Amino acid sequence: MDRRVVITGLGLVTPLGLGTETTWSGLVAGRSGIGPITRFDATDYDSRIAGECQDFQAEAWIPKKEIKKMDLFMQFGIAAAQMAWDDAGFQRTDENAHRVGVVIGSGIGGLSAIQNQAMLLQSRGPSRISPFFIPMSLINLVSGHVAIRFGLKGPNHAVVTACATGTHAIGDAVRMIQRGEADAMLAGGAEAATCELAVGGFSAARALTTRNNAPQQASRPWDRDRDGFVIAEGAGVVFLEEMESAKRRGATLYAEVVGYGMSGDAYHITSPDPHGDGAVRCMLAALRDGQVDPAAVGYINAHGTSTPQGDAVETEAIKTVFGLEQAKKIMVSSTKSMTGHLLGAAGGVEAIFTALALHHQVIPPTINLDNPDPLCDLDYVPHTARDCQVTYALSNSFGFGGTNASLLLKRSP
């Protein structure tokens, strides 16, 4: 477990744009990527806004004849993986192919394909079901497509842990490299759930905001007027490799992944433990794994979904882990205020944001924090990005079913 793992490639497909440069510049500028839903007629839905990836064109990334075989979440994942691969500049050979693998997951996966094919079955009968239906809906097929694309014969795995998926995927991939099961991995999450069934389902669960008349102000973590999350789509994939190998080939070291923590609430299928017990143990596990003193952490990219209960619970958990005095000194921001909640892709995207914050020494803001909730009283970097000097940062992801994941990143010189 003494092999050190670094991030050397980044790939982003988000509501703020395509690629690291576009997304990061929008994030630092405090720009919102939220708008009215365009993927279907949302007139009759309680929540009618989303973070859509409107700049994405599948034909730019995938051969046209292959697109019809894939759900949109796979297309996002392939594009993000291609960006991360290109950014890393890694050369696959016949000799190293079995030492490079893929772990890309999704919280919901091919729900759009399932919905559309079910509607086709009902309206036109079983003979009209697409022969590609099963492979276009399976979550592990995004890892499969990526492995085939690059000829990667190492570990091939997919994670499905709701909104903690992307974080778990990266953490699992890091451990594979640490244990010597691989030398390099593409890892992250992809999601494309802006469809009738998902929006209707989350609305029925009263999880989504109904601030439809002000979409760019709708995602407002830590604010007393928050009323639910904004559903969003996209992908975040990183290229991970063993540090000494990355140094030898002169790769860009965005950040080192030094700690990974997991926990379960064992409390409720959708609500977090009211005192944040699972989140506390998860963050502590990441700190123990990295052998890092809590006082060394300068930034937390919070789960911060803009739900009334979740934001308050995460705030309490941070205070428990770091102590009230130290917690007040840590910069905590929710980039979901700008991207919305990418569900299974959120962890991958936000791990990249955390790595970039360390790399550039700039903390992205939390926008729309106009009236802070008295229960949420930490330094949430409101409205404006902040220059910083930070060495260690945490990225948190918490999912339905009480599944929790935290990554501890260290700035690379």
Q: Could you report the per-residue pLDDT of 336-374, keeping only the tens digit for each?
A: 999 999 999 999 999 999 999 999 999 999 999 999 999
Mean pLDDT of 153-169: 98
**Residues near 143 by Cβ (< 8 Å), separated by ≥ 6?**
102, 103, 104, 105, 156, 157, 158
Helices 72-88 and 141-150: angle between axes, nearest 10 degrees: 40
Residue 203 has pLDDT above 90, yes or no: yes
Element (H, E) at 11: strand 5-14
For each of the domains in the chain, give its residue range(s) and CATH number, in order of start. 7-248 (3.40.47.10), 260-408 (3.40.47.10)
Give the residue carrying structure tokens 């102590």: 323
Which is catalytic among the residues 163, 195, 282, 376? Answer: 163
What residues have CB less than 8 Å from 285, skipping those under 6 apart?
259, 260, 261, 262, 263, 406
Asked if the model's pLDDT at residue 404 lies above 90, the reply is yes
Q: Calculate the alpha carbon distances from 99 to 185, 186, 236 in Å.
A: 9, 12, 22
Segment 90-104 mean pLDDT: 97
Residue in 145, 157, 303, 359 annotated catalytic: 303
pLDDT tier, 413 (very low <50, low <70, confident <90, very high otherwise): confident
In this structure, which amino acid lies at residue 174? V
Burial of 71 (0-12, 13-18, 19+ CB in 10 A): buried
Q: Cα–Cα distance between 226 and 218 in angstroms, integer?
A: 8
DSSP type of residue 246: H
Spatial CB neighbours of 88, under 8 Å, sequence gap ≥ 6: 8, 9, 239, 241, 251
pLDDT band of 2, cuts 50, 70, 90: confident
Rg of the chain in Å (alpha carbons): 20
The mean pLDDT value of the chain amounts to: 97
Does the annotation mark 163 as catalytic? yes
- Output the CA–CA distances (angstroms, integers) from residue 94 to 196, 245, 402, in the order listed: 44, 17, 42
Q: Among all chains, which residue has been given the structure tokens 């990266």?
A: 170
User: Which residues are registered as beta bridge partners of 191?
Assistant: 234
pLDDT tens track for 276-311: 999 999 999 999 999 999 999 999 999 999 999 999
Residue 65: half-sphere exposure toward Cβ, Cα within 13 Å: 0
Which pLDDT band holds residue 146 (cuts at 50, 70, 90)?
very high
331: tokens are 């910069």
Amino acid at position 73, single letter: F
Strands 386-387 and 331-333: unpaired
Secondary structure (3-state) at 41: coil
Average confidence (pLDDT) over 163-175: 98
Q: Is 341 a catalytic residue?
A: yes
- Whether the per-residue pLDDT at 1 is higher than 80: the answer is no
Question: What is the share, in percent, of the chain residues with pLDDT greater than 70?
Answer: 100
Active site residue 388: no
- Tokens 């494309």 sit at which residue? 192
pLDDT at 373: 97
Instruction: Output b/e per residue, 22-34; b: 16+ Cβ within 10 A.
Output: ebbebbbebebbb
- pLDDT tens per residue, range 31-66: 999 999 999 999 999 999 999 999 999 999 999 999
